[in-house]
Structure formats: C-alpha cells, structure tokens
C-alpha cells in the first residue's frame, strides 16, 4: 500500500516565539557566540535541571568531548560506557585517545547494567559515562556508589533525556557532569547545539575556556590562550531559539509521555511486541518511542516491518547498533559479546514520537502496523 501521507520520526515544533527572539537577535547585531541570549539560555536551562553552571556548546558530542577533556582523561585512560548507545558516546571518548570500555545493558531499563560495571574497572579507569537511553534514566544510585568506591567521575550523557527524572531528580544534574544535545529531533532544540552542566566551579571554568580556544578569561582582550582549546561555541541565534523552546519544555515532555501511554494502550495486546520500559523510580520522557519486534512470533523481521511501514508513509528508525558492531570499532571489540545490547539493536524500532506527533498519527501508525502484521502472524 502506497500512501501520500507522511509521518516523520521526529520534527521540531517551532512557533512565533522562536521567530520573535531570533528576529530580536538579528536586529541587535549580536548573532555569533557573544550576546545576552547565550548567557540567559545557560542560566535558565541549568536552573531547570538543577545545577549551578551551564556552558552552552555547539553540539551534544562537543559537550561530551569537553567533559572528558575537562576531567583530564587522556591516552591510556579508560572510560566505562554502555555498549548500547549512539556512537557519539564512544567517539567523544576516543577523541582524547582514551578507550571506551563497554558494558552490557540491563534488560529491564535498556540502560547500562550497574551489576556489570565493577568487573570492568581497572587501574586505568577514570570515569563512568552513563547514557539515559531514549529518555529513560539509568539506575544512578548503584552507579554513584561504585564511582565513589573507586574514586571515579560520573558523566551523564543526557542527550536524549531532557526532563527525565531519577527518583524525583532530573537527570543531567546527578553525576559530576551532565551533557545535553539540542539537535533538531530532541525534546527541545537549537537546530544544532548542546550544553554541559556541573556544580563544580573549577570544571565549569575549564569547560568555559575549552569551548572558546583556551582564552585567558582575565586577559581576553589581548587574545592570550593558556592552552589548546576548541571552537565549540553556541551562537546567540541558536540560544534565542533555545530560550523559546525552553519556555515550552514541560509541554513537550508531557506530550511525549502522553503519546507513549497512548501507544502503549493501542499496542499492549499485540503478541510479539515489547513496549518501552518505565521503572517505578523513573520518569521516562520517551524521546523515542521504541518497541522490540519478536520475529518468531510475528513472522516478519524488524527491517521488513520498517520497509512495509514506509509504504504507508510512516518514518521509522532502527535502534542503535551497539558500539562493538560499528565498523570503526569492530576490530577493537571483535572478541567481545554483549547479548542484551545486541538483542536491543537487532529487535528495536523507533516509531514516530516527535513534538508534532499527535493521537491521530498514532492511531494511523498502529492501524497500519496491525494491517501489516495480520498477514504475517505464524
């Protein structure tokens, strides 16, 4: 069945408020990384998450890279990271010459399994990078306990988890450093962009300087650079969009959760489909609504199902391919296996779940899904 209807996997929800602030920014002449909107965005977003400092940067990957550099992690060091995550998590570690040490996922939350972390710690381990996958918080208490036991830093990759909560605390403000992405498909967006959050004065100052070519902040007018830094700044134009988006973040979080519950209601009786998790201690923001496909029950592969949904005009994405199966990392981890991560990567499919997705879209998607599956059940 070919359809002229198109339902995107995720798209930003842009209003007149963004237009107003961007126009204000343009008229002011402050369109690069200097300007009031950057500072205000940093202050408001860090306040929302609950940290003292926010440093706006050019992307979520830049945020992770700066976090690792600021902690003086370098070649020969190791950072523990889940095998099931975006490749950006591992790449940011590799940029410094450090090695990502992979840990399998918890079958119940799809996040890093706290019970499998300690066995991967060596005398070269410097940090644990936690990824709150698809908007579901990782189980932070046991991870923090392990980190304290071995004197390790905790970096939260919260790129997908704006507004998600662990036992009532917003993620990104629980570890030593939290990193967010504001890419176009995230819960709030600046087009491209990210932010580093921390409560540590020295870390905040170092990241502030690292993102801006290592400027000596006291002697900026003389262009003195105390160390090699990066051009990872966020523009005032992007921050203007971010401010307008931030004003609606609770609306967007509520929309994602309501859509997820509606999906759950319509899909819960279909055998062979596993719904996304939400632990009792978690507030999942369902950045992506991800289901697992049991090929043996449904009689159709995940990839074939995605292809059929495409014919209905429904955009989908496969779940993350685990790090050890990615081409740049295969040789490094060729003798390692992570069965839960591999299962998630093989069975997972993301259904449309952006800020513009509505109940009518979900009804159409589920109807198409049922129609496709009706001819495949074994």
Whether 124 contacts 150, CB under 8 Å:
no
Q: What's the CA gap between 315 and 351, in Å, rounded? A: 7
Per-residue pLDDT, 5? 85
* Closest alpha carbon to 19 in 195, 188, 243, 233: 243
CA distance 152 to 154: 7
Q: Which one of 186, 206, 255, 283 is the catalytic residue?
A: 186
Mapping DSSP onto H, E and C, the string for the chain reads CCCCCCECCCCCCCCHHHHHHHHHHHHHCCCCCCCHHHHHHHHHHHHHHCCCEEEEECCHHHHHHHHHHHCCCCCCCEEEEECCCCHHHHHHHHCCCCEEEEECECCCCCCECHHHCHHHCCCCEEEEEEECHHHCCCCHHHHHHHHHHHCCEEEEECCCCCCCEECCEECCCCCCEEEEECECCCCCCCECCEEEEECCHHHHHHHHHHCECCECHHHHHHCCECCCCCECECCHHHHHHHHHHHCCHHHHHHHHHHHHHHHHHHHCCCCCEECCCCCCCEECCCCCEEEEECHHHHCCCHHHHHHHHHHCCECCEECCCCHHHCHHHCCCCCCCCCHHHHHHHHHEEEECCCCCCCHHHHHHHHHHHHHHHCCCCC
Q: Is 186 among the catalytic positions?
A: yes
| Spacing of C-alpha 355 from chain mean position | 16
Which residue in 152, 163, 186, 162 sits closest to 81, CA to CA? 152
* Pairing label, strands 153-157, 125-131: parallel
CA distance 307 to 258: 27
Instruction: Find, among 139, 62, 61, 68, the residue nearest to 99 by Cα.
Output: 68
CA atoms within 13 A on the CB side of 296: 0
Report yes or no: 145 and 173 within 8 Å, Cβ to Cβ. Answer: no
The angle formed by the CA atoms of residues 319, 132 and 95, to the nearest 5 degrees, is 85
**pLDDT of the chain along its 378 residues, tens only?**
556 789 999 999 999 999 999 999 999 888 777 889 999 999 999 999 999 999 999 999 999 999 999 999 999 999 999 999 999 999 999 999 999 999 999 999 999 999 999 999 999 999 999 999 999 999 999 999 999 999 999 999 999 999 999 999 999 999 999 999 999 999 999 999 999 999 999 999 999 999 999 887 766 656 788 889 999 999 999 999 999 999 999 999 999 999 999 999 999 989 999 999 999 999 999 999 999 999 999 999 999 999 999 999 999 999 999 999 999 999 999 999 999 999 999 999 999 999 999 999 999 999 999 999 988 755
Which residues pair with residue 352 across a beta bridge? Answer: none
Rg (CA), the chain: 21
Contact yes or no for 47/101 (Cβ under 8 A): no
Q: How many CA atoms lie within 13 A of 355 on its CB side?
A: 19
pTM over 0.75: yes
167: left (phi over 0), alpha (psi -120 to 50) or beta: left
| Structural domains for the chain | 16-246 (3.40.640.10), 249-373 (3.90.1150.10)
Contact criterion met (CB below 8 Å) for 252 and 355: yes
Query: Cα(231)–Cα(312) distance, rounded to whole angstroms?
Result: 43
Instruction: Say how many CA atoms lie within 13 Å of 157 toward its Cβ.
Output: 30
CB-CB contact of 195 with 49 (8 Å): no
Q: Which has the closest alpha carbon to 45: 289, 241, 257, 191?
A: 241
């Amino acid at each position: 069945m070919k359809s002229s209807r198109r339902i995107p996997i995720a798209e930003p929800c842009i209003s007149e408020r963004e237009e107003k602030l961007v126009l204000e920014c343009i008229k002011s002449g402050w369109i690069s990384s200097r300007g009031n909107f950057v500072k205000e965005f940093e202050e408001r977003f860090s306040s929302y998450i609950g940290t003292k400092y926010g440093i706006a940067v050019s992307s979520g990957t830049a945020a992770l890279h700066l976090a690792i550099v600021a902690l003086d992690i370098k070649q020969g060091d190791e950072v523990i990271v889940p095998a099931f995550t975006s490749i950006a998590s591992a790449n940011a570690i590799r940029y410094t010459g450090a090695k990502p040490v992979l840990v399998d996922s918890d079958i119940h939350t799809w996040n890093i399994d706290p019970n499998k972390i300690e066995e991967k710690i060596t005398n070269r381990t410097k940090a644990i990078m936690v990824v709150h996958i698809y908007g579901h918080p990782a189980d932070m208490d046991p991870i923090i306990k392990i980190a304290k036991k071995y004197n390790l830093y905790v970096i939260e990759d919260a790129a997908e988890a704006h507004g998600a909560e662990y036992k009532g605390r917003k993620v990104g403000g629980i570890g030593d450093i939290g990193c967010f992405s504001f890419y176009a498909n995230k819960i709030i967006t600046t087009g491209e962009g990210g932010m580093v959050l921390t409560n540590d004065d020295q870390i905040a100052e170092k990241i502030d300087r690292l993102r801006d070519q290592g400027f000596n902040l006291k002697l900026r007018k003389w262009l003195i650079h105390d160390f090699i830094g990066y051009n990872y700044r966020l523009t005032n134009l992007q921050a203007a969009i971010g401010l307008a988006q931030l004003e609606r973040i609770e609306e967007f979080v509520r929309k994602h959760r309501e859509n997820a519950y509606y999906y759950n209601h319509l899909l819960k009786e279909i055998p062979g489909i596993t719904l996304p998790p939400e632990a009792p201690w978690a507030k999942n923001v369902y950045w992506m609504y991800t289901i697992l496909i049991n090929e043996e029950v449904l009689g159709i592969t995940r990839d074939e199902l995605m292809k059929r949904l495409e014919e209905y005009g429904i955009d989908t994405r496969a779940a993350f391919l685990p790090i050890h199966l990615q081409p740049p990392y295969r040789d490094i981890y060729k003798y390692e296996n992570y069965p839960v991560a591999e299962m998630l990567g093989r069975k997972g499919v993301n259904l449309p779940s952006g800020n513009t997705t509505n109940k009518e879209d979900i009804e159409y998607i589920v109807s198409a899904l049922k129609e496709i599956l009706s001819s495949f059940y074994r």
